[in-house]
Amino acid sequence: MGTVSSGIGFLSQFFASDSAASTHQFCCFSANSSPLHVNFSRSAAGCLVKRGSLLSTRVSVSTTGNAKIDGIDDQLSLSSDEIKPSRKSADWKAARTYSERGLIYEGKVEGFNGGGLLIRFYSLVGFLPFPQMSPYHSCKESRKTIQEIARDLTGSVLSVKVIQADEDRRRLIFSEKEASWLKYSNKINVGDIYQARVGSVEDYGAFVHLRFPDGSYHLTGLVHVSEVSWDLVHDVRDILTEGDEVRVKIINIYREKSRITLSIKQLEEDPLLETLDKVIHKDASVNTNSLDSNGSSVIDPLPGLETIIEELLQEDGIYDILITRQGFEKRVVSQDLQLWLSNAPATGDQFTLLARAGRQVQEIQLTTSLDQEGIKRALQRVLERVP
């Protein structure tokens, strides 16, 4: 069903992306000089990273087994300043390869700071900003703060994707969200319906986490403000709150951008239906107004509608316009005057429109030789002329 709003242009849905990766500067540092595969662990002191400085961490190097960072090793100890440049360059090259090929890396969480997690990548340590973490963690531990979640994750291994590997700027950034997208995006399709949990709520809509059959939340999509409710929404926060459980329908998937758009209202019946009988509830009043001098019922046009009717009668192909019925709904969609074109086929040369303002709805009968598209174009021309 087409929708025309008086004095207001057609609404076009836009998509605003969620929080971008943090741009905290993070210095990657090496912790091993051996070119062979070595596993690392770090003492509590070694996990503390100060912005703008490097810790002079002591490491143990083993060519056959795991290497432990326990302060001082009884075999061979090197400071971060003594690590071979060839090893670091090789690992930066590996990071760039992961980034360019979109590969998933299993990285150990070495620690965290105020902005995110510190992830081990061979001899380097990179940064996973909190906004780039999977919704899995916050939904599983909804009562914990992000700092508490980060503390619990220290020492664990996460699946991440390298989204920035800049050796010159010493910046290695990871995204767990992007890794989750690679794992789970092939399981979703437009039209799918999911149970979901509301994450952050913004002026333009709400970010909602999708619950998968395993019971966990792996992907996040946006419910734009225009898809929250059929009712007029002034502030999304009046309807949705972080943590709310909702049902959503996938209406678009932008695979190249790793984005999903969702709708809540499309799982409800559209109240803007084709005839007055469907729009007005059964217990609502219909057509009980004053009478004219001939005893016929008179319906006063909604504010602003009379001017639109006069302009429509100036359009070629429209011969007569009559307000036939009216009623009152239980809820307010908009105080502004709005017109809807009926999808129902015309009866002879009779075509039906609906006008609404606030709770009041009026049915309008057009006598016209125009088809539906012709009437739509006539309405658009009229609305451009009417202030």
pTM (whole model) above 0.85: no
Residue (of 108, 11, 111, 93) closest to 57 by Cα position: 111
Q: What is the mean pLDDT of the chain?
A: 74
- Identify the pLDDT of residue 160: 95
**pLDDT recorded at residue 375:** 85
Q: What is the pLDDT at residue 47?
A: 36
Please report, for the chain, the start and end positions of each structural domain, with discontinuous segments joined by +. Answer: 88-180, 187-267, 274-280+300-385
Which pLDDT band, with edges at 50, 70 and 90, does 15 fall under?
very low
pLDDT in tens, 158-186: 999 999 999 999 999 999 999 999 999 99
User: Is there a shared CATH topology between the 88-180 domain and the 187-267 domain?
Assistant: yes
With beta carbons less than 8 A apart as the criterion, state whether 60 and 76 touch.
yes
Residue 387's pLDDT is 75
Residue 120's contacts (CB-CB under 8 Å, 6 or more residues apart) are 40, 107, 108, 109, 110
Average pLDDT over residues 29-37: 36
As a whole number of angstroms, the distance between CA 379 and CA 116 comes to 54
Does residue 236 surpass a pLDDT of 50?
yes
**131 CA to centre of own chain:** 13
| CATH homologous superfamily for the domain 88-180 | Nucleic acid-binding proteins (2.40.50.140)
Provide the pLDDT for residue 216. 92
Phi, psi of 280 (to 5 degrees): -85, 130
For the domain spanning 187-267, the CATH number is 2.40.50.140
What does DSSP assign to residue 19?
Answer: P
Tens digits of residue pLDDT in 76-123: 334 444 456 778 889 999 999 999 999 999 999 999 999 999 999 999
The proportion of the chain whose per-residue pLDDT surpasses 90, expressed as a percent, equals 41
- 303-359 pLDDT, tens digit per residue, is 888 898 999 999 998 999 988 888 776 666 667 787 777 666 667 788 888 888 877
CB 206 within 8 A of CB 240: yes
| Secondary structure of residue 268 in the 3-state scheme | coil
Three-class SS of 274-338: CCHHHHCCCCCCECCCCECCCCCECCCCCCCHHHHHHHHCCCCCEEEEEEEEEEECCCCCCCCCE
Q: What is the pLDDT of residues 119-163, one digit of tens each?
A: 999 999 999 999 999 999 999 988 899 999 999 999 999 999 999
Query: Would you state the structure tokens that stand for residue 279, as one six-digit string?
Result: 């729009």
The H or E element that residue 251 is part of is strand 245-254
Q: Which of 18-22, 65-69, 86-90 has the highest mean pLDDT?
A: 86-90
CA-based torsion, 5, 8, 13, 19: positive or negative: negative
pLDDT at position 343 is 62
Asked if pLDDT for residue 67 goes beyond 70, the answer is: no
Virtual CA dihedral for 366, 370, 371, 376, nearest 10 degrees? -70
Hey, what are 368's tokens? 């016209």
Hey, what are 214's tokens? 């395993």
- Most confidently modeled range among 6-15, 216-225, 354-363, 375-384: 216-225
- Whether 255 has a pLDDT exceeding 60, the answer reads yes
Side chain identity at residue 374, one-letter code: G
Model pLDDT, residue 88: 86
